[in-house]
Structure 1
Amino acid sequence: MRHAAVLSGLLGVAGVASFVTGLQPPTARPEAVPAAALTQARTAQYRGVRLPVPDGWDVHRLDLDPARCVRHDRRAIYLGRPGPQPDCPARLFGGAETLHIEPLGERSGDAASAQRRRTPVVRAGKLARFTVRENVGNRVRIELPEVGAVVTGVYGGDPLALQSVIRSIRLAGKWVAEPPPRTRGGGIARDESTAATLNSEDSEWTKGKGFDTCTAPSLRAMAAWRRAYRIANIYIGGASRGCAQPNLTRSWVRAVRRMGYRLIPTYVGKQAPCNMDAFRVHFKAEAAAREGRRAAADAIAKARALGIPPDRPIYFDMESYPSGKTRCRRAVLTFLDNWSRSLEAQNYVSGVYSSASSGVRDLGRAKGITKPQAIWFAQWDNKAKAYGGPYLRNRWWHPHRRIKQYRGGHREKHGGVALSVDNNYVDGRVY
């Protein structure tokens, strides 16, 4: 990425991201979620279960954050099995709608058996008509054997608020969740042993240092660099992609993953309309929504051709732009909104690369749009860490959804092979 210099002193869109994890104020009597809110929301996915996330709801991945407490005092969706020792407050009072989706058949014992006997088994075609009836426990449990998942819902004062969310669930084919890496004591693994485990080809995210270079290196070069790095970017397509890719094929992807690499698939499409001087290919502001959808469709086709399956990320490379120009900023956010919506509709993880001080900060501050599930930001301060910078709030894209490009173009040599690369620190989604 050759134009990733961080700009400072630019104005952004005010406000806090609607889906960022954080405290939600309690409501006296939650109302049913309006259909319009559901259709505009981003999508949560677990196994074969997909549902739009209503405004004001948080989403938590328990397999990636096993100490997370499944709380019923704030509207949230929890995905995966909880850890052995959740970090919960000493006193807590429910009253908000929550949804917990976890693998089917995880529980054991007499209580679980009794619960299963009175649990409805719902087929895909009946979810849209499911009725949440009031009961003494203010909860409902639904088994979805088609995807090996069970949904547990809790409502506050009005079951309709939960019912509208359940009715929005769609089954989109089976997705097998990998178990989180654990130590012998049952806790989540850490440090170097964690890095090796998380780098398995089936895990959704990984940690460690990576590099990106304009064209996919030869297999010989990738093998020579393997001792120094285990994460690499690939530019899979786009109108602004700067280099030919003679090495980048489906067999190349398979080969480098067998070497132990994790990959960051990136699509370099048309750039911001106010970047005409810096980039030859740009989209018009009035066509931002359509161009965002078109870019996503092409990126998905390119990813599939390389054997990159759904549930994996594709990052759009939106290079630095003058975000202080309101019309330009709005056009970029509209473009990226439609990019993310379109990717998630096809079960891919939406990602965005941009400068920390323009595209990524604007996304973090924006309201009323579908935000990417993962971000990759350029901040060339030579600090290999994903948090603590001046532009991004730490609660944005947390946990394990960040990649930081911390050093720009330079030459490195490993195993006798020299390449011009940027450096990245990864604590986020990869293939």
Structure 2
Amino acid sequence: MRLFPLVALTAVLTLSCGNAVDAAVGPLSGLKEVSYAGTTVEVPVSWPVHDLTAHPHTCIRYDRHAVYLGDPGPDQNCPAGAVGRTDTVRIASDGSVTRTRGHQASGDKTGDGTGEVPQTAPPNRPHIPERPVKAAATYSGLGFDTCAAPTTDAMKAWAGASPYHAVGIYIGGVDRACPDGNLTPAWIQTVDQQGWKLFPIYVGLQAPCWKDPHHGHPALIDRGRRWTEGQEAADNAADRADSFGIAQGSPIYFDMEYYPRDNPGCTQDVQAFLSAWTDELHTRGFVSGIYSSSHGALADMALLYDSQAAYRADVVWYAHWDKIPRLFGDPTLADRYWPGARRIKQYRGGHNETYGGKRLNIDLNVLDAPVAALKPAAAAN
């Protein structure tokens, strides 16, 4: 992709695939028009324009402003840990337009106690009993996760050549940064037959005090609806899991990114939200998992581990990038919390690895934890 210099008030963007995109730049509005496949959209002049036909490995990302032209390739080169959502536009090869929107904040999003009154658990629950769901399947060993599901060919190559036998798959969530892409019920059945164990990930509302590192506008927990929003997230996650053919008794891991822990109101909002997530997932028959930095939400969850003030997640997935694939004996999470087959550790962040001639950008994990069980293939389709 190359940009011609501005001539008067008009610039022309020429794409290597042979399609011309006209970008009319308004000096006062800071907008440009992008035309493709008979469709024209107006976007901020600073947004990059990606031609998916000329560059089929381009990753469609919802966490950064961009315009995407054409249809995504099956081998997107996505970073492992993209999270969050902001405004993006894609014009497909048939001229149809898909937009994502960043969250428009309302009410109190600071977690400092001003604005809305915090929502608490329903008043008909004087105490919180343990109601764990029995895991339908567990796995012990090494695994990886990545933002976009690789092709089944890549998964087959890695199944035979890599040391990994489990993969984290992003199944949904309002702050999920990558679309479904290759992920379908058929994909799940195929990689299951290749021998992969799956741990489903859901990226929902984030902490009210979280700041998107890419300066987007992620959707955040509303302290006035924090319990209801946790329930809604769990219901949506369970529905998404069901649509992909993932059976009850499987875990769903909520991705709660790191947030500053010096704000008590924000911490309480997260704890209430995740408590509701766990309670509702149990109602739906799924195992509740939480992913976060060992210095983030999991540190706060550990403070309530012996309390009846919150529903305790069944399994935790903690990020501590010390490059040591060891679940216990880690100084950031005491061994007494979530003992046994109830832990995943993400011990290395995003980097490239190649097996069987297929390169992927991945995070590394060691597991002794619940993994997905699948419904029969006929029921999943």
TM-score (norm 2): 0.62
SS of equivalent residue, structure 2 residue 225: helix
Query: 2 CA distance for matches of 1:40 and 1:316?
Result: 21
Q: CA shift at 1:328, angstroms?
A: 0.7
- Select which of 356, 363, 366 maps to 1:415: 356
SS of alignment partner, residue 357 of structure 1: coil
Of the candidates 149, 158, 161, which is equivalent to residue 216 of structure 1?
149
- SS of residue in 2 equivalent to 1:343: helix
1:323, 1:287 → 2: CA distance?
21
**Residue number among 296, 299, 322 corresponding to 2:260 in the alignment:** 322
SS of the residue 2:238 aligns to: helix
Counterpart of 1:43, as a letter, is R
Deviation at 1:40, TM superposition (A): 1.6
Other structure's SS at 1:206 match: strand
Q: What is the deviation of 1:246?
A: 1.8
* 2:314 corresponds to 1:373: yes
Query: What is the rounded CA distance, in whole Å, between the counterparts of 1:318 and 1:335 in structure 2?
Result: 11
How far does residue 277 in structure 1 lie from its aligned partner after superposition? Answer: 4.4
1:320-368 Cα offsets, whole Å, 9 max, x none, are 1112211111100000000000000111101110010111121111131
Deviation at 1:45, TM superposition (A): 4.4
Shift >4 Å, 4+ stretches? none
Within a 5 Å distance, the mapping from 1:150-161 to structure 2 comes to none
Q: 1:269 aligns with which of 186, 204, 207?
A: 204
User: Equivalents in 2 of 1:257, 1:2: separation in Å?
Assistant: 23
Q: 1:43 aligns with which of 131, 148, 153?
A: 131
2:335 maps to 1:335: no
Task: Find the aligned partners of 1:36 and 1:298 in 2 and give their Cα distance.
Answer: 23
Q: Counterparts of 1:137-286 in structure 2 under 5 Å? A: 204-227=137-160, 228=162, 229-278=164-213, 280-286=218-224
The 3-state SS of whatever aligns with 1:339 is helix
CA distance, structure 2, for counterparts of residue 353 and residue 314 of structure 1: 10
Which of 384, 396, 403 is equivalent to 2:344? 403
Number of aligned positions between the proteins: 245
Q: Is the 8 A contact 2:132 2:287 kept in 1?
A: no
Q: Percent identity?
A: 38
Q: Where does the alignment leave 5 or more consecutive residues of structure 1 unmatched?
A: 5-34, 47-176, 178-202
Secondary structure at the counterpart of residue 285 of structure 1:
coil
CA deviations over 1:231-252 (Å, ceiling 9, x no partner): 0000000011111222111111
Q: Give TM-score scaled by structure 1 length.
A: 0.55
Q: Could you tell me how far 1:258 is from its partner in structure 2? A: 0.6
Question: Using a 3 Å threshold, how does the CA distance of structure 1 residues 45 and 277 change in structure 2: closer, same or farther?
Answer: closer
Query: Which residue of the other structure, out of 272, 294, 305, is the alignment partner of 2:232?
Result: 294
Q: Which residue of 2 is the match for residue 2 of structure 1?
A: 81
The 1:313/1:42 distance shift into structure 2, 3 A limit, reads same
1:54-65 mapped onto 2 (5 Å cutoff): none
Q: Which residue of 2 aligns with 1:58?
A: none
* Cα root mean square deviation, aligned: 1.8
